[in-house]
């Protein structure tokens, strides 16, 4: 069964075909804790609707991505948590995982967070 993430990845690949073909962009749908980069580092990592950052005790996930940003690179999380969820939880998880966070206000409900690994 295809997941919504796979459909989003296919759409992103289609919209950004020239950047993918030139090597400027790549798109992957994967479980964060199972993703292997084979030593590759990334300027920007975009995670959309990865609910583990605000629904439970996300400890393995920040640790799994902490070594992926290139120097000066970052992890960007975007999600729209249901009302009533603790919106601060994502920052706590990222901070515990070795990231500094900057919340970027975006509308009434959408959360966008830029997280950079601590040196």
Residue 118 has what pLDDT? 87
Element containing residue 70 per DSSP (H, E) = strand 69-79
Give me the CATH code for the 31-117 domain, please. Answer: 3.40.50.150
Q: Residue 27: what pLDDT?
A: 86
Domain boundaries, the chain: 1-29, 31-117
For 39-96, write each residue's pLDDT tens digit: 899 999 888 877 777 676 777 888 888 889 999 999 988 887 766 666 677 777 888 8
List own/partner pairs for 56-63 with CB under 8 A and 24 or more apart. 57/93, 58/90, 58/93, 58/97, 59/93, 59/96, 59/97, 60/32, 60/33, 61/32, 61/33, 61/93, 61/97, 62/93, 62/94, 62/96, 62/97, 62/98, 62/99, 63/97, 63/98
119 SS3 class? coil
Q: What is the pLDDT of residues 28-51, one digit of tens each?
A: 888 888 888 888 999 998 888 777
- The closest alpha carbon to 78, from 109, 56, 57, 42, belongs to 109
């Amino acid at each position: 069964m295809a997941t919504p993430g796979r459909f989003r990845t296919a759409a992103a690949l289609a919209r950004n075909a020239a950047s993918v073909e030139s090597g400027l962009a790549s798109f992957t749908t994967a479980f964060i804790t199972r993703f292997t980069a084979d030593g590759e580092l990334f300027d920007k990592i975009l995670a959309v609707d990865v609910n583990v950052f605000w629904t439970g005790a996300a400890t393995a996930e920040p640790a799994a991505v902490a070594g992926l940003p290139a120097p000066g690179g970052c992890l960007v999380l975007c999600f729209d948590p249901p009302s009533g969820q603790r919106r601060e939880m994502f920052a706590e998880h990222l901070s515990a995982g070795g990231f500094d966070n900057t919340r970027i206000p975006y509308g009434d409900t959408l959360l966008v967070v830029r997280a950079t690994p601590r040196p």
